[in-house]
């Protein structure tokens, strides 16, 4: 070490919360060492600086910035900037070198009392660089280890990121970290998926739906929620080093069945494809989009045009550019539509009777689904037994580890298929079951519902009732083709009326 007697120094001390907790590298300890060093070597202390900020960069350290301003004002009175170790100065190699050079141009030498560097000696160049790079390398190792630790958790099926909406931090029976369903929000998340899976609601409608207000949904987080596989109990393990991305069965409780999740994805993909041609709703022409041209069977559109007297008249018309001149007055169509609604309304007092009949009929149809379900569960049991037997064989050394892995993943694949099938069976059941009371109340109040509804709801209603577009014939619509659920109800209704 050169002779430092008579040199003037500023001292810089830094500590972050981690340092204090882990390394016991307190500001007091740094202060004592620095002062002791100056006293021993006859160095004059001009000013002392200290702060508790991380050492990622210099810009975000307010005290260090103050130090630089001080240096600018009094650079001729300063020879040294002293720290206890270089990692107090910076933990980033490139930034360290840059700043050391910058200060050197002001004739100020940066040095660390615990690993003193001779900047002028060429023999010290490599050790110097190593010294400066150690903190950064240490940081990188720590980050890598953290990442590895997190991945290990994921591989064990323990999701360790920030809990997705609907879960909260928790522990399993063995006191290991495992997120748990939030007592209130978890049910809302399940309901949200089920709602969207019916296909009757758009994302915008869910955003406005008061039932979900507690979830504080926004456009972007709703979309993220609906596509997050974690709700089905699965975890995505991202690609890392040489490992490719994989899906892992998590240990956390699922909130959404695989069948519902897949249905939601289908709907989302389907809507995305259709998104560009955004439908325009015109309250004046609520049937637009649900009518078929009586002349050429293309879809009818509609528009209004002003007559000479200035009154606007509305028409449902065909596409003249494609050579069809069909043009029907709005009034004519709406009258026919009302007639149609009247014709499908059941007579007073029959509704309850329908419900009983419908449930009966539903149960008959449902029996086949029930037996299918039983069969699937049996298959599932068999597969599980095979898995157990395979494990026994592995333990007894009859099969090799590699063979075991192949067979297990084969069996797991089959089990996933069966599970998805079960979900689908369960899903369809509740679909029709839910539709019975809904369909009946709709059927008995159709005209009133339709009259009061907004144009969006009208479209939605028509969309959920009609499987094909309406076609005007002789001032009336032809007997409409109904969607499965509604058609099922409508048929039973008309049969019991005529019976
Ligand atoms: Zn036409």
Query: Ligand 1 centre from 259 Cα, in Å?
Result: 41
The phi and psi torsions of 235 (rounded to 5 degrees) equal -125, 135
Query: Ligand 1 centre from 74 Cα, in Å?
Result: 88
Same domain, 425 and 482: yes
Asked if residue 488 belongs to a domain, the reply is yes
Instruction: Give the domain-ending residue among 218, 244, 274.
Output: 274
Same domain, 485 and 425: yes
Asked if residue 214 belongs to a domain, the reply is yes
> Which residues does residue 243 pair with via DSSP β-bridges, in sequence order?
240
Query: Ligand 1 centre from 472 Cα, in Å?
Result: 12
Q: What is the distance between the alpha carbons of residues 171 and 195, in angstroms, rounded to a whole number? A: 30
Query: Ligand 1 centre from 460 Cα, in Å?
Result: 24
Query: Ligand 1 centre from 319 Cα, in Å?
Result: 6
Query: Ligand 1 centre from 278 Cα, in Å?
Result: 23
What is the CATH classification number for the domain harbouring 94? 3.40.50.1390
Residues 6+ apart with CB under 8 A from 87: 55, 134, 135, 138
Query: Ligand 1 centre from 117 Cα, in Å?
Result: 90
What are the residue ranges of helices labelled H in 159-250? 185-197, 203-208, 219-226
Query: Ligand 1 centre from 321 Cα, in Å?
Result: 10
Query: Ligand 1 centre from 327 Cα, in Å?
Result: 8
Query: Ligand 1 centre from 9 Cα, in Å?
Result: 92
Same domain, 12 and 134: yes
The residue among 236, 330, 339 whose CA lies nearest residue 283 is 330
Query: Ligand 1 centre from 323 Cα, in Å?
Result: 8
Q: What is the distance between the alpha carbons of residues 431 and 260, in angstroms, rounded to a whole number? A: 11
Query: Ligand 1 centre from 446 Cα, in Å?
Result: 29
Determine how many CB atoms are found less than 10 A away from the CB of residue 430.
12
Query: Ligand 1 centre from 325 Cα, in Å?
Result: 6
- Supply the pLDDT for residue 434: 58
Same domain, 123 and 37: yes
Same domain, 201 and 97: no
Asked if residue 282 belongs to a domain, the reply is no
- Supply the pLDDT for residue 181: 95
Residue 241 three-state SS: coil
Same domain, 229 and 270: yes
Q: What is the distance between the alpha carbons of residues 284 and 47, in angstroms, rounded to a whole number? A: 79
Query: Ligand 1 centre from 315 Cα, in Å?
Result: 13
Q: What is the distance between the alpha carbons of residues 411 and 416, in angstroms, rounded to a whole number? A: 9
Query: Ligand 1 centre from 298 Cα, in Å?
Result: 6
Query: Ligand 1 centre from 290 Cα, in Å?
Result: 14
Asked if residue 280 belongs to a domain, the reply is no
Asked if residue 411 belongs to a domain, the reply is yes
Query: Ligand 1 centre from 318 Cα, in Å?
Result: 5
Host domain of residue 122: 8-144
Query: Ligand 1 centre from 477 Cα, in Å?
Result: 16
Query: Ligand 1 centre from 459 Cα, in Å?
Result: 22
Asked if residue 465 belongs to a domain, the reply is yes
Query: Ligand 1 centre from 295 Cα, in Å?
Result: 5
Cβ burial, residue 96 (10 Å; 0-12/13-18/19+)? buried
Same domain, 385 and 478: yes
Query: Ligand 1 centre from 301 Cα, in Å?
Result: 10
Query: Ligand 1 centre from 322 Cα, in Å?
Result: 8
The residue among 465, 259, 459, 206 whose CA lies nearest residue 376 is 259
Asked if residue 32 belongs to a domain, the reply is yes
Query: Ligand 1 centre from 320 Cα, in Å?
Result: 8
Same domain, 138 and 180: no
Instruction: Give the domain-ending residue among 274, 305, 328.
Output: 274
Query: Ligand 1 centre from 461 Cα, in Å?
Result: 25
Query: Ligand 1 centre from 469 Cα, in Å?
Result: 13
Query: Ligand 1 centre from 299 Cα, in Å?
Result: 8
Same domain, 185 and 136: no
Cβ burial, residue 293 (10 Å; 0-12/13-18/19+)? buried
Query: Ligand 1 centre from 150 Cα, in Å?
Result: 63
Query: Ligand 1 centre from 458 Cα, in Å?
Result: 24
Same domain, 69 and 19: yes
Query: Ligand 1 centre from 324 Cα, in Å?
Result: 4
- Supply the pLDDT for residue 64: 93
Same domain, 450 and 373: yes
What is the CATH classification number for the domain harbouring 232? 3.90.1750.20
Contact of 297 with 473, CB cutoff 8 Å:
no
Query: Ligand 1 centre from 337 Cα, in Å?
Result: 19
Query: Ligand 1 centre from 293 Cα, in Å?
Result: 5
Instruction: Give the domain-ending residue among 244, 274, 304.
Output: 274
Asked if residue 129 belongs to a domain, the reply is yes
Contact of 58 with 65, CB cutoff 8 Å:
yes
Q: What are the CA-CA distances from residue 426 to residues 189, 379, 421, 429, 455 (Å)?
A: 18, 16, 9, 5, 33
Query: Ligand 1 centre from 294 Cα, in Å?
Result: 7
- Supply the pLDDT for residue 353: 66
Same domain, 110 and 235: no
Query: Ligand 1 centre from 296 Cα, in Å?
Result: 4
Query: Ligand 1 centre from 36 Cα, in Å?
Result: 97
Report the domain count for the chain. Answer: 3
pLDDT tens string for the chain (499 positions)? 668 999 999 999 988 655 554 445 678 888 999 999 999 999 999 999 998 877 678 888 899 999 999 999 998 999 999 998 888 888 777 788 888 888 988 899 999 998 888 887 777 767 777 777 777 777 777 777 777 777 888 888 888 778 999 999 888 888 888 899 999 999 999 999 999 998 888 898 899 888 899 999 998 899 999 999 999 999 988 877 677 788 888 999 999 999 999 999 988 888 766 544 445 678 889 898 899 999 998 899 988 888 888 888 999 999 888 889 999 999 999 999 988 888 777 665 666 666 666 666 666 666 777 788 888 889 989 998 898 888 888 888 888 888 888 888 888 888 888 887 887 776 554 445 555 666 666 667 777 777 777 777 788 778 777 888 999 988 899 888 877 666 666 665 555 544 3
């Amino acid at each position: 070490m050169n002779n430092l007697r008579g040199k003037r120094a500023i001292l810089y001390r830094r500590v972050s919360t981690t340092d204090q907790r882990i390394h016991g590298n307190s500001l007091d300890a740094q202060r004592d060492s620095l002062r002791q060093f100056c006293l021993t070597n006859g160095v004059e202390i001009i000013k002392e600086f200290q702060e508790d900020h991380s050492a990622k960069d210099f810009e975000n350290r307010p005290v260090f910035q103050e130090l630089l301003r001080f240096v600018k004002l009094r650079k001729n009175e300063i020879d040294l900037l002293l720290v206890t170790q270089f990692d107090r100065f910076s933990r980033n190699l490139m930034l360290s070198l840059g700043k050391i050079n910058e200060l050197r141009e002001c004739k100020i030498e940066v040095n660390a009392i615990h690993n003193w560097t001779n900047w002028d000696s060429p023999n010290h160049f490599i050790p110097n660089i190593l010294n400066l790079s150690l903190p950064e390398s240490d940081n990188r190792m720590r980050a890598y280890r953290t990442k590895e630790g997190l991945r290990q958790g994921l591989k064990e099926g323990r999701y360790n990121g920030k809990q997705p909406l609907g879960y909260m931090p928790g522990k399993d029976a063995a006191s290991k970290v495992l997120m748990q369903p939030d007592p209130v929000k978890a049910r809302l998340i399940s309901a949200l998926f089920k709602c969207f899976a019916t296909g009757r609601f758009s994302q915008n409608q869910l955003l406005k739906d008061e039932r979900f207000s507690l979830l504080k949904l926004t456009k972007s987080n709703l979309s993220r929620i609906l596509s997050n596989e974690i709700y089905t109990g699965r975890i995505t393990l991202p690609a890392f080093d040489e490992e490719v991305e994989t899906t892992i069965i998590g240990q956390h409780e699922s909130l959404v069945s695989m069948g519902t999740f897949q249905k939601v994805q289908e709907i989302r993909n389907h809507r995305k494809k259709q998104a560009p041609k955004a439908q325009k709703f015109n309250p004046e022409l609520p049937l637009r989009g649900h009518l078929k041209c009586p002349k050429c069977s293309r879809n009818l559109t509609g528009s209004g045009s002003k007559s000479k007297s200035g009154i606007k008249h509305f028409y449902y018309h065909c596409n003249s550019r494609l050579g069809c001149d069909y043009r029907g007055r709005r009034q004519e169509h709406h009258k026919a539509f009302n007639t149609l609604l009247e014709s499908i309304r059941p007579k007073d007092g029959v509704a309850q009777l329908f419900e009983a009949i419908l449930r009966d009929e539903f149960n008959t149809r449902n029996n086949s689904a029930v037996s299918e379900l039983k069969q699937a569960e049996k298959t599932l049991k068999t597969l599980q037994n095979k898995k157990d037997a395979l494990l026994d064989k592995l333990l007894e050394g009859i099969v090799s580890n590699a063979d075991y892995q192949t067979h297990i993943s084969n069996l797991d694949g089959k089990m996933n298929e069966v599970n998805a099938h079960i979900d689908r069976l369960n899903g369809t059941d509740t679909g029709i079951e839910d539709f019975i009371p809904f369909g009946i109340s709709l059927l008995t109040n159709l005209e009133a519902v339709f009259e009061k509804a907004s144009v969006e709801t009208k479209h939605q209603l028509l969309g959920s009732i009609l499987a094909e577009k309406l076609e005007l014939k002789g001032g009336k619509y032809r007997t409409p083709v109904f969607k499965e659920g509604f058609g099922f109800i409508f048929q039973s209704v008309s049969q019991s009326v005529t019976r």
